[in-house]
Each structure stands twice: as C-alpha cells, then as structure tokens.
C-alpha cells in the first residue's frame, strides 16, 4: 500500500476523492475530484479536521478519535460553504499516515450541480453516473405517470359527474334528482316531492346481511317504479332513502293514493334465501303549487320535516308538509345528521 | 408495444405535419382513439399499422419516416430527456457507441416494461463500426440511424452513416467516425435541472 502511495496517480484514478493524511492529521495529498470542489484553496497542507467537520460518529473530536474510527462509515461535511456532505471511510497505514476516501453519498446530485462535475471526475467503476442516469430517468417516468394519473382522474370525475344512475337499483341518483328539481324550480311548475324512508330496513341488514339488504332495495326500487307514473322520477338518495318527484299533480288526493300504494307494496313480505324480510315505509310529501319562488334546499327540508312527522306518528304512513309541522315540539327539527345537508 | 413508442410516432407526426395528418393516420390505421397514452401498453400489431398509415398519409417511404422519427426523438425539445439520458452513456461519441449494447437494459431501468430491440456494436478497423439492430418492426435500423446522426452532432463528432440492409430480422448500420472532435457539439451538464 505504501508503495502504491508513492505513486499518487494510482489512487487518483481509483479514488479521485481520496485524501492522504500525515500522522499529525494534515492533508498531504488530495485526489483530483475532491480538490476540484475547492478550486481556489489547495487542500494539501490544511489540517483535515479544520477543512472537514465530522458529523457522525459524534464522539470524534480530535485526530486520536478519528484514528480509532478506522473502517467505520463517517459522515463529514466541509467546514466552509458550500457545506457539501460526504460519506467517508478512513484507513490507517502502518507508518502512521491515513487515507480517507470520500463520496457524495445521497447528496450526489447537489454535488454534481454545485461543482459542475463531469463523467471524468468519477472513477470509471463508480456508479455515480448510473445513479444520476437513474434519478433523471425515474423523474421523467414519474412525471409522465403523474400526468397520466391526472388525466385519468379527470376522466373519472367527468364520468362520475355524467352518471345519473344508482348502480345498485338502477334508479336515478341524487345528482339526477338535483338536476330535475333545479329545472322544475326554474320553470315554477307545480309538482310534488315524496321523501320515502324505509322502516325496519336496518333490521334486515343487521340480521340477514348486506346481500339481503341489497336484494330488498332492488325489490323496493322496482315496486316504486311500478306504483308511480312513467313521467314521475324515482331516485335513491341515501342507503334506504328514496325521493319521488311527481309532476302534473292536480290534487293531494292523487298523492295520498300513490303514497298509500307504495306503502302497501313495500309491506308485502320479500323472500330472500328462504328468509322473509318485512319492511314498511314512512313518507313525507311536499306539494308545490305552481308559481312559487322556492329553493331546492327548502323543498327537501320541508319533505324531511314531513317525513319525521310520519316517523313520530308511528311509521308506515304519509304526512303532508304544512308550516305548523315545524312548530310541533315533537317534530320541530329533524334529528342531527338527517338535515338537508345530507349528501 | 409500449405506449411511449407509439406516442413518439404520434408526437412526431403532430409536431412535424400537424394534428390533421395525425388524425387521418389514426383513422387509416383503424385506431378507435387519436391519443396514445405514453404510460400504457398497446398490442404489438398497432405500431406497424400506425407506421403504414403514417407513410400513406405523408406519402413517404417507411425508412425515411423512421429516420426522421429517430432524428425527432433526440432533437425535439419535448424529448430533451431522451437526448440527456443517451448522453449519460458516454463521454465521447465512440464511448457512446459502446454504450448502445446496454440501451435495452438502460431503458428497462427507467421503465420496467419498456422493451427496446437488442442492438450490438462491432468495432472494426480504426473508427469503423457496425451496429446490428434487431428490427421487430421493419425499419428500426433507420430510426437508429436518425438517432445516431443527431447524437454525433451532439458530441461534435463527424461521422458517416449507412444502412446496409437487413437479413433475418436484423438491420445493419455501418458507422465511420471521421473525426471525433470535429466541432464543439452541445454541452452536457450532468446535474442540469429539468
């Protein structure tokens, strides 16, 4: 090894970021690349621990500590700016001298940028160039993937926005309901909104499982479509909540009959896997005479108030909204979480 | 074939000849879309069909079109990344030529599912090389010729390139490096910020 050192060119090629230290801890020779980082000040002649700070192990304070830290990984940095960080390893020689070999480690990209290094500054066997290649290639690939993800996400949002169907029941969904309501409100037509909440449905789900629950919802959906007119719209707006919009309603009698037919149909026992599911429905209805200036939020809130009046009246019935329902202490306000803001 | 390859052809036609020509080529090739996604994969049969359609629309032979695609890939600003990644291969042009054998492996490092055709460099007398290009899509050698022409300029080397035909699915290029340091070439900064 000592022979090799006499010919500094060998280490300069193999480890261009090495330093040879004298027994007193002075830098005797610096490899070409490490010297390139400090073009204006020769490293040779400086005290190693004055040019470099040892960050880890933290116990290293002087050259004696350093000499004992042979063969372990050192974390170092330049004392003065730019305070480039290095990984290093120290090997003591029999004659008291030491060799410290440095590398940029994870800060390779900063190092290459800060000092405009080229391929020639790294040993031919050093993986630094491959590392830089990989970082650049992966960054480009990630960027392309990110753009694809953004496009796909945009397409997904667009598709969802265009979707007006509840996939489980085939009924319209809340988005479709909103669209229809906005249109009816804008044209100030007469129409009615029935808010229907299934009774005892939770028991079906809890005792017979979600498959049974899903089956019931599908049967219920079919029944509602059959008991309403083709021009009416049935939407599933929550787990077991439905809203029917009826247009061209001339009297509340019609609404009463439709509501009763729906309740009667839903009370017919539903078979599932040898089990019988029994449910019913509570309905809150708002009849909007034409020409009124309304908001969708108000209409749905009124329907909610009427629905909870039905629930309080013992379920399985229909209530028409009237403003005094809001004054009745029992139904004053819907329970928390069941207000109009419900999504 | 990887979407990146198909997308390159699409971008080449759009940037050089306009989107209308590309739309026509896509229609002619029977694509049900006009935009390739660079990060998705497509059936292998699509690429030759697209190339045939592009040649029909542009009324140019495939070898010319592919050489232009090769030139485009390493010179258009959109594809600066490709030029840079190739420059990582070597410090000078002949070093770069020797790195071409590793090109498919390097491409796989960047994108695990990107399969480039195999290439093999043979060095003959001083400054004379031949490059054997596997060509799963006929004309790939011409694309490589376009790439090499630009890269030689990039390194500032004066080279003569020739496509000497194909046999058994392998196309051969001959490369003569007349002068390695003919011009300054373009700079290559290892740590350039994108």
Q: Which residues on chain A are in Cβ contact (under 8 Å) with B39?
A: 141, 144-145, 148
Q: What is the pLDDT of residue A341?
A: 34
Measured between CB atoms, does B38 come within 8 Å of chain A? Answer: yes
Nearest to B110 among A113, A117, A138 (CB): A138
Handedness of CA A175, A181, A183, A185 (dihedral sign): negative
Q: What is the pLDDT of residue B15?
A: 96
Tokens (6 digits) for A273: 């896997």
Q: Which residues on chain B are in Cβ contact (under 8 Å) with A36?
A: none
Q: Do B157 and B185 contact (CB within 8 A), yes or no?
A: yes
Task: Looking at B59-132, list the stretches that DSSP marks H as alpha helix, in order from N- to C-terminal side.
Answer: 62-75, 80-87, 93-99, 103-110
DSSP A60: -
Q: Do A228 and A246 contact (CB within 8 A), yes or no?
A: yes
Distance CA B50, CA B71 (A): 19
Q: What is the pLDDT of residue A338?
A: 41
Q: Which residues on chain B are in Cβ contact (under 8 Å) with A111?
A: 191
Distance CA B67, CA B49 (A): 17
Angle at A153 (CA atoms; ends B6, A157), nearest 5 degrees: 130
Q: How far is CA A104 from CA A77, A107, A114, in A?
A: 10, 5, 12
Active site residue A240: yes
pLDDT tens digit string along B127-147? 899 999 999 999 999 999 999
- Closest to A173 in 3D by CA, of A185, A183, A160: A160
> Does A338 sit behind a cis peptide bond, omega within 30 degrees of 0 on the bond before it?
no
Cβ contacts of B12 within 8 Å, gap of 6 or more: B68, B69, B72, B73, B76
Q: In this complex, do A141 and B191 lie within 8 Å of one another by their Cβ atoms?
A: no
Q: What is the pLDDT of residue A144?
A: 87
- Closest to A25 in 3D by CA, of A126, A124, A98: A98
Q: Which residues pair with A112 in a beta bridge?
A: none
| A151: nearest CA partner in chain B | B37
Q: In this complex, do B194 and A136 lie within 8 Å of one another by their Cβ atoms?
A: yes
| A147: nearest CA partner in chain B | B39
ipTM: 0.81
Q: What is the pLDDT of residue B74?
A: 95
- Closest to A19 in 3D by CA, of A74, A57, A56, A80: A74
Q: What is the pLDDT of residue A5?
A: 61
Q: Which of A240, A253, A302, A324 is catalytic?
A: A240
Q: Which residues on chain B are in Cβ contact (under 8 Å) with A118?
A: 91, 190
The region, left, alpha or beta by phi > 0 then psi within -120 to 50, assigned to residue A115 is alpha
Q: In this complex, do A140 and B91 lie within 8 Å of one another by their Cβ atoms?
A: no
Q: Which stretches of chain A drop beneath a pLDDT of 70?
A: 1-7, 161, 328-343
Best residue in A116, A143, A144, A150 for a mutation probing chain B (most B CBs within 10 Å): A144
Q: What is the pLDDT of residue A9?
A: 86
Tokens (6 digits) for A199: 């009774």
Q: What is the pLDDT of residue A6?
A: 66
In this prediction, residues B111-135 reach a mean pLDDT of: 93
Q: Provide the whole-model pTM.
A: 0.65
Measured between CB atoms, does A44 come within 8 Å of chain B? Answer: no
Same fold, A2-126 and A174-326: no
Measured between CB atoms, does A158 come within 8 Å of chain B? Answer: no
Q: Do B128 and B173 contact (CB within 8 A), yes or no?
A: no
Tokens (6 digits) for B153: 């300029």
Angle at A186 (CA atoms; ends A185, A191), nearest 5 degrees: 30
Helix (H, G, I), strand (E, B) or coil at B72: helix
Minimal CA separation from B174 to chain A, in Å:
27
Cβ contacts of A6 within 8 Å, gap of 6 or more: none
| B88: nearest CA partner in chain A | A133
Other Cβ atoms less than 10 A from the Cβ of A205: the count is: 18
pLDDT at B107 over 70: yes
Q: In this complex, do B109 and A134 lie within 8 Å of one another by their Cβ atoms?
A: yes
Distance CA A330, CA A311 (A): 11
Q: Which residues pair with B172 in a beta bridge?
A: B132
Q: In this complex, do A112 and B39 lie within 8 Å of one another by their Cβ atoms?
A: no
Measured between CB atoms, does A153 come within 8 Å of chain B? Answer: no
* Residue-by-residue DSSP string for A223-251: HHHHHS-TTSEEEE-SSSEEEEEEES---
Measured between CB atoms, does B37 come within 8 Å of chain A? Answer: yes
Give the B window 119-178 contacts with A, CB below 8 Å.
none
Cβ contacts of B182 within 8 Å, gap of 6 or more: B156, B157, B158
- Closest to A288 in 3D by CA, of A135, A186, A165, A140: A186
- Under CATH, what is the fold of the domain A174-326? Alpha-Beta Plaits (3.30.70)
Q: Which residues on chain B are in Cβ contact (under 8 Å) with A139?
A: 194
Cβ contacts of B114 within 8 Å, gap of 6 or more: B2, B4, B107, B108
Q: How many CB pairs under 8 A join A and B?
A: 58
Q: What's the mean pLDDT when you consider all of chain B? A: 93
Tokens (6 digits) for A131: 């590392």
Q: Which residues on chain A are in Cβ contact (under 8 Å) with B81?
A: 136-137, 140
- Closest to A302 in 3D by CA, of A284, A289, A314: A284
pLDDT at B60 over 90: yes
Other Cβ atoms less than 10 A from the Cβ of A170: the count is: 13
Percent over 70 (pLDDT), chain B: 99
Other Cβ atoms less than 10 A from the Cβ of A189: the count is: 15
What is the domain partition of chain A in residue ranges?
Answer: 2-126, 129-162, 174-326
Q: How far is CA B1 from CA A52, B108, B113, in A?
A: 52, 14, 9
Distance CA A12, CA A153 (A): 53
Helix (H, G, I), strand (E, B) or coil at B44: coil
Measured between CB atoms, does A83 come within 8 Å of chain B? Answer: no
Nearest to B191 among A109, A139, A148 (CB): A109
Tokens (6 digits) for A159: 């598709």
pLDDT at B27 over 60: yes
Looking at domain A2-126, does it have CATH number 3.40.1190.20? no
pLDDT at B124 over 80: yes
Q: In this complex, do A132 and B191 lie within 8 Å of one another by their Cβ atoms?
A: yes
Cβ contacts of B94 within 8 Å, gap of 6 or more: B127, B129, B157, B177, B180
Nearest to A141 among B40, B110, B189 (CB): B110
Cβ contacts of A342 within 8 Å, gap of 6 or more: A238
Best residue in A117, A120, A133, A151 for a mutation probing chain B (most B CBs within 10 Å): A133
Q: What is the pLDDT of residue B127?
A: 86
Nearest to B85 among A119, A120, A136 (CB): A136
Q: Do B174 and B162 contact (CB within 8 A), yes or no?
A: yes
- Closest to B112 in 3D by CA, of B59, B39, B32, B6: B39
């Amino acid at each position: 090894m000592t022979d090799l050192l006499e010919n500094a060119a060998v280490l300069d090629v193999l480890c261009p970021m090495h330093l040879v230290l004298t027994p007193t801890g002075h830098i005797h020779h610096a490899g070409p690349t490490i010297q390139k980082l400090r073009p204006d000040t020769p490293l040779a002649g400086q005290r190693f621990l004055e040019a470099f700070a040892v960050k880890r192990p933290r116990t290293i304070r002087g050259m004696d500590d350093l000499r004992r830290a042979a063969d372990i990984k050192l974390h170092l940095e330049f004392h003065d700016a730019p305070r480039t960080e290095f990984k290093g390893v120290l090997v003591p020689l029999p004659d008291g001298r030491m060799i410290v070999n440095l590398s940029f480690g994870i800060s390779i990209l900063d190092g290459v940028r800060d000092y405009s290094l080229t391929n020639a500054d790294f040993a031919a066997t050093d993986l630094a160039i491959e590392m830089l290649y990989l970082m650049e290639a992966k960054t480009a690939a990630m960027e392309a993937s990110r753009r694809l993800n953004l496009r796909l996400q945009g397409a997904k949002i667009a598709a969802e926005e265009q979707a007006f169907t509840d996939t489980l029941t085939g009924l319209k969904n809340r988005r479709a309901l909103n669209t229809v309501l906005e249109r009816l409100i804008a044209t100030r037509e007469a129409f009615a909104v029935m808010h229907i909440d299934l009774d005892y449905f939770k028991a079906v789900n809890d005792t017979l499982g979600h498959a049974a629950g899903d089956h019931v919802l599908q049967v219920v959906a079919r029944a509602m479509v059959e008991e309403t007119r083709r021009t009416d719209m049935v939407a599933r707006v929550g787990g077991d909540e439905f809203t029917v919009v009826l247009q061209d309603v001339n009297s509340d009698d019609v609404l009463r009959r439709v509501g009763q037919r729906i309740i009667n149909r839903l009370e017919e026992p539903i078979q599932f896997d040898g089990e019988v599911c029994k449910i019913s429905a509570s309905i809150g209805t708002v009849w909007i005479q034409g020409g009124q200036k309304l908001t969708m939020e108000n209409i749905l809130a009124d329907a909610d108030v009427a629905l909870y009046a039905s629930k309080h009246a013992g379920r399985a019935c229909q209530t028409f909204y009237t403003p005094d329902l809001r004054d009745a202490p029992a139904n004053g306000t819907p329970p928390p979480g069941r207000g109009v803001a419900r999504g | 074939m990887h979407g990146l390859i198909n997308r390159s052809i699409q971008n080449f036609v759009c940037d050089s000849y306009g989107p209308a020509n590309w739309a026509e080529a896509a229609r002619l090739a029977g694509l049900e879309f006009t935009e390739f996604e660079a990060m998705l994969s497509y059936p292998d049969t699509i690429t030759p069909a697209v190339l045939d359609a592009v040649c029909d629309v542009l009324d140019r032979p495939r070898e010319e079109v592919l050489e232009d695609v090769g030139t485009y890939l390493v010179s258009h600003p959109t594809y600066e990344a490709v030029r840079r990644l190739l420059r990582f291969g070597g410090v000078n042009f002949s070093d770069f030529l020797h790195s071409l054998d590793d090109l498919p492996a390097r491409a796989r490092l960047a994108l695990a599912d990107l399969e480039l055709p195999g290439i093999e460099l043979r060095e003959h007398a001083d400054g004379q090389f031949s490059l054997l290009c596997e060509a799963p899509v006929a004309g790939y050698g011409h694309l490589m010729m376009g790439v090499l022409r630009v890269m030689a300029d990039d390194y500032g080397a004066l080279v003569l390139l020739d496509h000497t035909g194909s046999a058994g699915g392998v196309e051969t290029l001959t490369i003569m490096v007349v002068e390695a340091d003919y011009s300054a070439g373009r700079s290559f900064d290892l740590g350039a910020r994108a």
